[in-house]
Structure formats: C-alpha cells, structure tokens
Amino acid sequence: MRILVTGGAGYIGSHVVKMLGEKGCEVLTYDNLSTGNRWAVLHGDLVVADLGDADGLGRVLRTFKPGAVMHFAAAIVVPESVRDPLKYYGNNTVNTYNLLRAMREHGVHRFVFSSTAAVYGLARGIPITEESHLNPINPYGTSKMMTEMVLKDLSFADSRFRYVSLRYFNVAGADPAGKIGQAYKDATHLITRAVKTAKGEFPRLQIYGTDYPTPDGTCIRDYIHVNDLAEAHILALEYLGEQDLSEIFNLGYGHGYSVLEVVEAARKVTGIDFPVEETGRREGDPPSLVADSTRAKRELGWRPRYDNLEFIIKTAWEWEGRLAREIRGTS
C-alpha cells in the first residue's frame, strides 16, 4: 500500500515511516522541515513542502496516489500554544483542513490523524476513556479537538471518507535500534529535558508546579514509548482497510507517573544526580492525564511492548548520546 506521511521527518512521524518501510509499504514523506530532519526519514522519498502550499500538495497527491494519508505534521508544545495560539490554529486546524480538501479533490479517503490527550484537559475521571468529556485547557488541545470535529462531520457527510484518530498520551523514548529519536532544537518535554540535564546541556531541570491535587503535588502523565505508539499506527491502517468505520483510540499504558517520579527514574537510569529546581506552574498544564486504552487493545489488537518507564528513559538517554553525531553527520 502507498502511504503519504505528513510530518514524516519529525519525532513520531519518523518512527512510523521506519515501521511502514519494515512492513513493506511504499512511503512518501511530506514535511516542511520546520522541526523535522532530513536524516530522520529512513524509508521512501521526502518532499520538502508546506501544507499551506495547495499546488504542491495537489501535485503530490496526484502523482503519488496514496491509498491513505497519515497526518503527523503539527505544532505540539503546550506552553507555546498558550503564548501563540494562531500558530496552533493555523498549523493544526487550518492545515489539516487544507489537507482534507486536497485529499477529497484527489480521491483519497483514508486518514490517520495524530490527536492528543490534551483534548481532555481537565478530565473528570482517571483513567480517561474515549467517551470522556472533551475539555481542553490550552490552544494546542483545542486546535486538535476542532480538527476531530471536522473529521467527524466529514465522515458523516461523505460515506467514502474513513479516519482513525489516535489520541496520544505522553510519547517519549527513542527507537532502540538507535537511528532516530526526538531532535527538536528547543526541547520542552520532560523526559527529554531530564536526560539533556543529566548530559549537562542544562544546569538544572525545572519542576513546574508542586501544588497540584496529586499525591506529591506534581503533574501526572502516562508516558508511552514511541515504538508502541508507532505500532498502533500500523494497526490503525489495517483497521481502515478492513472496517467500514471511523474510530477514535486512546494510546497510553493506563498508569501515570508524577514529575518527581520521572526525575527519580531519570537519575537512576543515567546514574547522574542532576539538580532540579521547583518553580511555579506552567500555563496550560492539566494535573493528571492517564489513558484507558481498552478500546485500542480490543479493536486494533494493540499489544504494547515497552510499558516500562526506565526502559523508555534509557532509550531517550542512549539517543541523546548519538544525537549530536547524527545531526553533524548527515544533515
């Protein structure tokens, strides 16, 4: 099968592109390289273009003729979305709309969408099922929720159009094979910041808020290894091929760790007692996000393999050691 992957040069997209290649799919990555890297595309060709470029996008769909589109390209940093909401509504909501229009014009009707646990925001119950009330508390979550609404209406209006929306919880770690991992210039994610601090890139790790309504006062997240997440995308594609249905799936392990627990695990894995500093809350952070992924296990047959926080951190730590070399060597 031929798959167009937007954002395939980014962190999660590149892991999925690699896995698609290993499964024998023909892949084309469409990425503007704003946060992605050329070297991260380990399978298929890369078209460097923006989703705002309707002509370029149309050309790619016309010539490559994908059977499905997997859409990763997005802005994903919660605090940045609070500071710059238009970037998020533009990159995430408007650009997805552009993509869906172009797909319809060119007769492509299968879509896998990178959604997020941020759509739940202040969740009323933990763990969170897909039926939970959507209550995003930052523009990032709202931008993704709006796109999910568009997808739902589109699938209702056009019986040919089918989608799977995957609501990611906190994706972390790197491919254990070692060639790809997270490589943002200004990494903000907790596990990445922790291993970079251990490596000496930052003098200390800041802990954003210790007065949340959680057992130790810091936020709780459900950290999921990027390869387990990538595997769910392959299953989502199969689902779209087999079922005449659209569906939404949570992807997490069903248990959370506080920021302090992550710090402790990162110190243990790296063997470095890096300094931390407790600071005030970061804007837009919900206290707790933990997935109920029963539906993904039941409907997709998803069987996560790396449900182990220390292993996730270990792969992130090993990747940090290779990152500078990777960027110097092949960019």
- 140: annotated active-site residue: yes
How far is Cα 330 from Cα 185, in angstroms, rounded to an integer? Answer: 16
Task: List the catalytic residue out of 88, 89, 140, 223.
Answer: 140
Residue number, 47 or 81, with CB nearest to ligand UFG:
81
Residues that bind ligand UFG (CB under 6 A): 76, 78, 116-118, 169-170, 188-190, 193, 205-208, 219, 221, 259, 282, 285, 289
Distances (CA, A) of 18 to 14, 134, 299: 6, 32, 24
Residue number, 8 or 141, with CB nearest to ligand UFG:
141
The CB-of-5 to ligand UFG minimum distance in angstroms stands at 18
The CB-of-114 to ligand UFG minimum distance in angstroms stands at 9
Residue 136 sits at φ, ψ, to 5 deg, of -60, 145
Residue number, 125 or 241, with CB nearest to ligand UFG:
125
Q: Is the dihedral of CA 33, 35, 40, 41 positive or negative?
A: negative
The CB-of-254 to ligand UFG minimum distance in angstroms stands at 14
Residues 6+ apart with CB under 8 A from 39: 326, 327, 329, 330, 331
The CB-of-115 to ligand UFG minimum distance in angstroms stands at 9
Residue number, 4 or 118, with CB nearest to ligand UFG:
118
- Residue number of the CB atom closest to ligand UFG: 219
Are residues 259 and 206 in contact, defined by beta-carbon separation less than 8 angstroms?
Answer: no
The CB-of-312 to ligand UFG minimum distance in angstroms stands at 12
Residue number, 161 or 169, with CB nearest to ligand UFG:
169
Are residues 51 and 58 in contact, defined by beta-carbon separation less than 8 angstroms?
Answer: no
Amino acid sitting at position 87: K
Residue number, 31 or 80, with CB nearest to ligand UFG:
80
How far is Cα 88 from Cα 140, in angstroms, rounded to an integer? Answer: 6
Residue 187 sits at φ, ψ, to 5 deg, of -65, 135
Token pair of 2, please? Answer: 């031929």
List, as own/partner pairs, every contact residues 90-94 make where C-beta atoms lie below 8 angstroms and the sequence separation is at least 24, other chains included.
91/143, 92/140, 92/143, 92/144, 92/147, 93/143, 93/146, 93/147, 93/150, 94/52
The CB-of-91 to ligand UFG minimum distance in angstroms stands at 13
Residue 310 sits at φ, ψ, to 5 deg, of -65, -35
Are residues 129 and 292 in contact, defined by beta-carbon separation less than 8 angstroms?
Answer: yes
**Catalytic residue set:** 140
